[in-house]
């Protein structure tokens, strides 16, 4: 599925959050959105996903390349796991399938498929209180994959996790994107996550958010490893892009506090 973001701007009352965003996201491409706090990354993701109508501009969707069996073309993975505590792992995944015209056997096939994809097959009958943070996020990812989305929209999915779990899930995300060729838009404050996962990294300026630069990373995702010299160089280049505005945004937050 190809997404075209055309002249998108957005205001919250008197606050201009985004101004004149133009971006095309190609099928099979992972695009990361970075920038200082308050630059409109999550706002832009909400507009792309249809959760928020832009003040002006359009998001155009070419759905000719939807995966077979796609139930929801645009699907979110949030920072908050948002699992129902009274449902098992399989029950939480089943939740997104129950409003669709699928038989029980069809739902079961999808559930088993995504449990295997996310290394959760042995935990299908566990409840959220029995899972670590990393395992809960795997359930959130499995739930998103169950609808066979064309585009995965990810809003800081690793920010609530400890460093070790984050690295493990980065490896799993990398494998998922390389194996499936899935299209994804990934919002993050973490530059290491951006260079590990994205084909292109879009750096936004401070409010109003505008595109400062689009940084391409040509290393195949499946070949990227933690600590690679080439990735460190890309990470430094991204920090150089946003450093001054990130420092200014941080000072602004301190003054508010």
Q: What's the predicted TM-score (pTM) here?
A: 0.91
95 plus 145 within the same structural domain: yes
CA distance linking residue 30 with residue 155, whole number of Å: 13
CA distance linking residue 110 with residue 117, whole number of Å: 11
CA distance linking residue 155 with residue 193, whole number of Å: 12
- Confidence grade of residue 63 (pLDDT, cut at 50, 70, 90): low
CA distance linking residue 106 with residue 198, whole number of Å: 33
pLDDT of residue 121: 94
**Closest to 136 measured CA to CA, from 92, 201, 97, 177:** 92
104 plus 228 within the same structural domain: no
91 plus 121 within the same structural domain: yes
The domain boundary, picked from 149, 171, 201, lies at 149
Q: What percent of the chain has pLDDT over 70?
A: 96
Count up the domains in the chain and report the number: 2
Comparison of pLDDT for 237 and 207, the residue scoring more: 237
CATH number for the domain harbouring residue 180: 3.40.50.300
CA distance linking residue 205 with residue 212, whole number of Å: 6
223 plus 160 within the same structural domain: yes
CA distance linking residue 91 with residue 39, whole number of Å: 37
- Confidence grade of residue 51 (pLDDT, cut at 50, 70, 90): very high
45 plus 163 within the same structural domain: yes
pLDDT of residue 69: 85
- The answer to whether residue 74 is domain-embedded is no
Domain range holding 121? 82-149
User: Does residue 27 contact residue 3 with C-beta atoms inside 8 Å?
Assistant: no
CA distance linking residue 217 with residue 251, whole number of Å: 30
pLDDT per residue as tens digits for the range 6-37: 999 999 998 999 999 999 999 999 999 999 98
Average pLDDT (170-186) is 90
CA distance linking residue 80 with residue 204, whole number of Å: 24
51 plus 116 within the same structural domain: no
- The answer to whether residue 75 is domain-embedded is no
- The answer to whether residue 142 is domain-embedded is yes
134 plus 185 within the same structural domain: no
Lowest mean pLDDT among 113-117, 146-150, 153-157, 178-182: 178-182
pLDDT of residue 256: 46
């Amino acid at each position: 599925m190809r997404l075209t973001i055309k002249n998108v701007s957005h205001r919250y009352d008197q606050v201009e959050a985004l101004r004149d965003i133009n971006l095309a996201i190609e099928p099979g491409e992972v695009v990361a959105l970075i920038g200082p706090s308050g630059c409109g990354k999550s706002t832009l993701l909400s507009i792309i996903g249809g959760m928020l109508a832009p003040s002006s501009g359009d998001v155009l969707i070419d759905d000719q390349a939807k995966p077979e069996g796609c139930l929801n073309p645009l699907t979110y993975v949030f920072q908050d796991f948002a699992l129902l505590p009274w449902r098992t792992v399989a029950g939480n995944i089943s939740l997104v399938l129950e409003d669709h015209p699928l038989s029980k056997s069809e739902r079961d096939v999808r559930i088993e498929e995504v449990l295997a994809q996310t290394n959760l097959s042995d935990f299908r009958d566990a409840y959220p209180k029995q899972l670590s943070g990393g395992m809960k996020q795997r359930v959130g990812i499995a739930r998103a994959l169950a609808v066979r989305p064309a585009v995965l929209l990810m809003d800081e999915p690793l920010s609530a996790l400890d460093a070790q779990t984050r690295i493990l899930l980065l490896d799993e995300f990398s494998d998922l994107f390389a194996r499936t060729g899935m299209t994804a838009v990934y919002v993050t404050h973490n530059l290491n996550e951006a260079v590990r996962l994205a084909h292109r990294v879009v750096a936004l300026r401070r409010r109003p958010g505008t595109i400062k630069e689009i940084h391409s990373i040509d290393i195949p995702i499946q070949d990227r490893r933690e600590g690679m010299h080439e990735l460190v160089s890309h990470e430094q280049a991204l920090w150089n892009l946003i450093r001054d505005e990130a420092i200014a945004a941080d000072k602004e937050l301190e003054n508010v506090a």
